[in-house]
Amino acid sequence: MSERKTKPSSPAPDAPVPKAVVSRLSLYLRELQRLVRDGHDRTSSSQLGRLLGFSDAQVRKDLAYFGHFGHPGIGYRCDDLIRAIRKILGTDRDWPVAMVGTGNLGRALLGYKGFSHQGFRIVAAFDVDPQRVGATIEGVRVFHLDQLPEVATDHKIKLGMIAVPAGAAQNVADRLASAGIEGVVNFAPVTISLPEHVRQVGVDLAIELEQLSFSVVSRIAGNGGA
Amino acid sequence: MSERKTKPSSPAPDAPVPKAVVSRLSLYLRELQRLVRDGHDRTSSSQLGRLLGFSDAQVRKDLAYFGHFGHPGIGYRCDDLIRAIRKILGTDRDWPVAMVGTGNLGRALLGYKGFSHQGFRIVAAFDVDPQRVGATIEGVRVFHLDQLPEVATDHKIKLGMIAVPAGAAQNVADRLASAGIEGVVNFAPVTISLPEHVRQVGVDLAIELEQLSFSVVSRIAGNGGA
């Protein structure tokens, strides 16, 4: 590809890593794991780029943030690169996760098998509905939300997912923070505030659809769109 | 706030809108709709910024991409700004949506009420499992995937959601494109390719968790993280 001509400059070792780069690491990991499942043990920046629609220079530049991987003319060993990326992303360890909310979305997430491949293990669910507390969904016990502090300690829970209605989300966020949770995925369609040391990611499915409709109407209007 | 000192420069009228700006538009819309539900009819860039953790200059700069809104010293009328943002995002119209896949995640999405507020209406679901075809889930009829072309035409379906296993996603994507769908939200944990005119957004829940774990381990290692 044409980008090969210019050698991308290596970022400074202590430069903060752009968010977009970290997102692409997850995509590289996903493709590498698929390649291994399909029986491949080596890959290259151009193969990875082609699978994902990026240039090979982009792939090399992204990986250069984290060190030297692969060998010129040989490429990458999939297993080595998987191990390295998992270490960077923190998914080389076990992450016990709490699910708060066991309505439609919470139940679906409890049944979702895709998390556990990366070390995310939902170990307890929480609700306030007496009809749900005490149940077991997809092998996960549902506790009352008031039990969060002790269950979080017992199971060494580090991450929480919020799948409650918007009006209840901030209260749940406060409780998760008090229980020592270090990171939260918020599925409720509302902005929550958390102490600065607690990390958060928001997933609002309506917003994803809005971004898509923007892109469609922009294309139709002929002014591009992302 | 300190950013108020420097007047942000207006972007050129035909500048492509950065993706991050479009994402924030969705957040502004969500807060504005909440303000209206709470009985407010006016707001300001500083209030919107405060609710979302952005500076007021950021809010004004983002909105300046799309025209002149609000009045100095008075602020914005919520209704006007909601109408304007919905027009920009394309959610001022009705978007009939197809859901492909009625497993755990597909069912949860069919039961999710948050889409319809923004005009996204799931009008038909599709599956290949004979046990599911013909059923009605959350008021939505499940058709066989082979019926996609005619159902898409009948219901003027413009967007599709893919909630099938990774191995089936590309085939579904191809069928959606052939049926004239203009945009796809892909929930399957795999990269799909689509004709250039078909827009796509990918939502991989494992990736969201990885981004969170990266952020937590980066904080613990003391080198920031997003």
Q: Does B51 touch chain A (CB under 8 A)?
A: yes
Task: Give CB contacts under 8 A, 24+ apart, made by B126-130.
Answer: B126/B98, B126/B99, B126/B100, B126/B101, B126/B102, B126/B151, B127/B100, B127/B101, B127/B102, B129/B102
Evaluate whether A118 touches B210 at the Cβ level (below 8 Å): yes
- Compute the distance between CA of residue B25 and CA of residue B90 in angstroms, rounded to an integer: 12
pLDDT digits (tens, 9 = 90+) for B47-68: 999 999 899 999 999 999 888 8
- Does the model's pTM come out above 0.95? no
Quick one: B95-207 is in which CATH superfamily? Answer: NAD(P)-binding Rossmann-like Domain (3.40.50.720)
Judged by CB atoms closer than 8 Å, whether chains meet at B191 and A108 is answered as no
A2-88 CATH choice from 1.10.10.10, 2.60.15.10, 3.40.50.280, 1.10.3720.10? 1.10.10.10
Enumerate the domain spans of chain B.
Answer: 2-87, 95-207
Residue with the two structure tokens 């309505």: A103
CATH code of domain B2-87? 1.10.10.10
Q: Smallest Cα–Cα separation from A10: which of A88, A71, A65? A: A65
Interface check B171 vs A, CB under 8 A: no
Q: Residue A187 — φ and ψ, nearest 5°?
A: -95, -5
Neighbouring CB atoms inside 10 A of A6's CB total: 8
Write the pLDDT tens digit of every residue in A156-209.
Answer: 999 999 999 999 999 999 999 999 999 999 999 899 999 999 999 999 888 999
Does B132 contact chain A (CB < 8 Å)?
Answer: no
Mutate to test the interface with A, among B200, B205, B210, B216 (most CBs of A within 10 A): B210
A214 vs B contacts (CB less than 8 Å): 22, 25, 88-90
* β partners of residue B201: B185
The pLDDT tens digits of the residues spanning B131-164 come to 999 999 999 999 999 999 999 999 999 999 999 9
3-state SS assignment for residue A140: strand
Average pLDDT, chain A: 89
- Where helices occur in chain B by DSSP H, the ranges are 19-37, 45-52, 56-64, 78-89, 104-111, 148-154, 166-178, 205-221
